[in-house]
Structure 1
Amino acid sequence: MILCHLADGEKSVGELEALLRIRQAAVSQMLARLRAENIVATRRDGKSIYYSLNNDGAAQVIAVLYDMFCSPDSE
């Protein structure tokens, strides 16, 4: 679900926490794994860290998955 939200654009950890309704520690742990796999990139702005999809290939794959599983039309 994190990747579905990042398909819509860059998000902070706090934004993802609110969207996913899970604890910040769990969100951070998932993001660390995605970052280690080079799927997401980070940008720091003050105290906040923002995450986005790292490359066009990942974005294209996520776009297909988003259309299948995450878009409002998929329900």
Structure 2
Amino acid sequence: MNIELMQERADHAVVLLKALANERRLFILCHLLNEGEMCVGEMNKKLGLSQSALSQHLAWLRKDNLVSTRKEAQTVFYSLKSDEVKEIIKLLNNIYCH
């Protein structure tokens, strides 16, 4: 494997690990894994975070390409973006959330 590719992958891993280092963002990602696609209102009720805090965490996750969005009228739905994110969250979920 060439060094540039290794560096690129390491950079991507660091972004993911920084997001996972926050308890609330990890909780959001685990919830999206278990529940599937959810809108902010649903997450707000289930996670017990304020709308403001939840929106800030979702913006962080969206910026780092960990979640994807789909808009339906005025409602924005969130889901885990990639299979690699799903696999890592699934592993953490199996170890720490059961």
TM-score by length of 1: 0.89
Structure 2's unaligned 5+ residue stretches are 1-26
List, as ranges, runs of 4+ consecutive aligned residues in structure 1 with deviation greater than 3 Å.
none
The answer for the alignment partner of 2:12 in structure 1 is: none
The answer for the alignment partner of 2:48 in structure 1 is: 21
Which of the two has higher C-alpha Rg? 2
2:83 maps to which of 56, 63, 66: 56
> What CA distance in whole angstroms lies between the structure 2 residues aligned with 1:68 and 1:12?
26
The answer for the alignment partner of 1:4 in structure 2 is: 30
- Which structure shows the bigger proportion of residues in strand conformation? 1
Cα deviation digits, residues 15-55 of structure 1 (max 9, x gap): 11111111111101000000000000000011110000000
Structure 1 position 69, deviation (Å): 2.0
> What CA distance in whole angstroms lies between the structure 1 residues aligned with 2:33 and 2:80?
7
RMSD after superposition: 0.8
> What CA distance in whole angstroms lies between the structure 2 residues aligned with 1:65 and 1:45?
31
Q: Percent identity?
A: 42
> What CA distance in whole angstroms lies between the structure 2 residues aligned with 1:17 and 1:6?
12
The answer for the alignment partner of 2:8 in structure 1 is: none
Query: How many residues are matched?
Result: 71
> What CA distance in whole angstroms lies between the structure 2 residues aligned with 1:13 and 1:28?
8
- Which structure shows the bigger proportion of residues in helix conformation? 2
TM-score by length of 2: 0.69
